[in-house]
Amino acid sequence: MIAFSQGVVNFFNTLTTLVRTNAAGIGGAAGNTAPSPGGFYYAVFTAPPTVTSLSPADLLTPTWTFTGLYGSNIPTSTGGRLSGGLDAIVPTGWPAGVTNSFVVVGWSANVSGKDWSLVAAQLTGASFQNGVWTGPNWSPSSQGGFFGTSAVGFGVASLPGSALPAFSLFGTTPNAQGTPIGGFDLFVVNVPEPSTLLLAGIATAALSLLCKRKSRRRCCASANTVTEST
């Protein structure tokens, strides 16, 4: 029966597992997330314990399950802190007594509010290179925002009210219940200006037209050669 009950975890980080924003890829700085309430949101995903690595695009596949568990940043003097609850009940995908792999995903409020579906839509087709997120589906409001994922951890969720303590998602060392995650970075999102996209489209269309004209000229030249030889 334990395996079919909702598990509980501790979803908050510590001073040794802080979250940072990182804009070094566009010449900016890296530092702890700002302490302003509601500036960042976080979500927990789980997968079978055989899954030990993650590409962010994997979050859009059935391999990873969004648990429905959200967190947000909390105001502290250091910044970089978040909480989704002490003894937080996991709604989906991580029953009590079950060992799962897990990751924490984070984003700034200008990317989306507490709504993973809106983030997922923007992540579709996205690429990450040299510390910068780009892609065709990031909304204009996401420009200068941040998105990132933690390393993969694993652990066993406990049964509410049982002697087994709630598994802490964040930590610096493995323990009897599993391996928690450390701090991680959220990387900058760079959305091209509409004018840049327009110019790129015009250039592509012009190149396509030029290729078609050249192709027609070759065909005409070939036809003339055949006629003359005939």
Rounded Cα distance between 110 and 191, Å, is 13
Rounded Cα distance between 226 and 229, Å, is 5
Q: Which amino acid is at 44?
A: V
* Whether residue 15 has pLDDT greater than 90: yes
The model's pTM is 0.83
Q: Look at residue 147 in the predicted model and tell me its pLDDT.
A: 98
Worst-scoring range by mean pLDDT, 91-105, 108-122, 199-213?
A: 199-213
* Whether residue 163 has pLDDT greater than 70: yes
* Whether residue 208 has pLDDT greater than 80: no
Q: Look at residue 195 in the predicted model and tell me its pLDDT.
A: 42
What share of the chain has pLDDT > 70, as a percent? 82
Worst-scoring range by mean pLDDT, 5-9, 130-134, 183-187?
A: 5-9
Confidence band, pLDDT 50/70/90 cuts, at residue 199: very low
Sole residue written with tokens 């087709």: 125
* Whether residue 68 has pLDDT greater than 70: yes
Compute the C-alpha angle 93/42/54, nearest 5°: 65
Three-state secondary structure call for residue 99: strand
Give 10's Cβ-side CA count (13 Å radius). Answer: 14
Rounded Cα distance between 65 and 59, Å, is 8
The per-residue pLDDT for range 77-114, each reduced to its tens digit, is: 999 999 999 999 999 999 999 999 999 999 999 999 99
Q: Look at residue 164 in the predicted model and tell me its pLDDT.
A: 87
* Whether residue 217 has pLDDT greater than 90: no
Rounded Cα distance between 94 and 19, Å, is 24
